[in-house]
Amino acid sequence: MSRIALLFLLVSGCTSQSDKASHIVVGRGFSAAVTQATGDPWAGCAATIALGIGKELYDSTGRGTPEALDAIATGVGGCSFSFAF
């Protein structure tokens, strides 16, 4: 796990670490797939940010509990993979 992703987990609160860790892992996997398919790490990072925002927008329709930190965790995971901070 990258240092930035680990730092995010530490500051996001102890009670939700497993949820945030899941978002980071999914973000990393999604970014890896998009980066490999396109050959462009910027595309992997951008797609992961869009995925995180889209998921929280979906949750806001009453199908879940939207949390801004979840979208950030997804983006942090994906972008930290794409650019290996």
Reported as a single tens digit per residue, the pLDDT across 11-57 is 555 446 678 888 888 898 899 899 999 999 999 999 999 999 999 99
pTM of the complete model: 0.76
Q: What is the 3-state secondary structure (H, E, C) of the chain?
A: CCHHHHHHHHHCCHHHHHHHHHHHHHHHHHHHHHHHHHCCHHHHHHHHHHHHHHHHHHHHHHHCCCCHHHHHHHHHHHHHHHHCC
Assess contact for 58 and 64: CB atoms under 8 A: yes
**Which pair of structure tokens corresponds to residue 21?**
């860790």
The pLDDT of residue 6 is 56
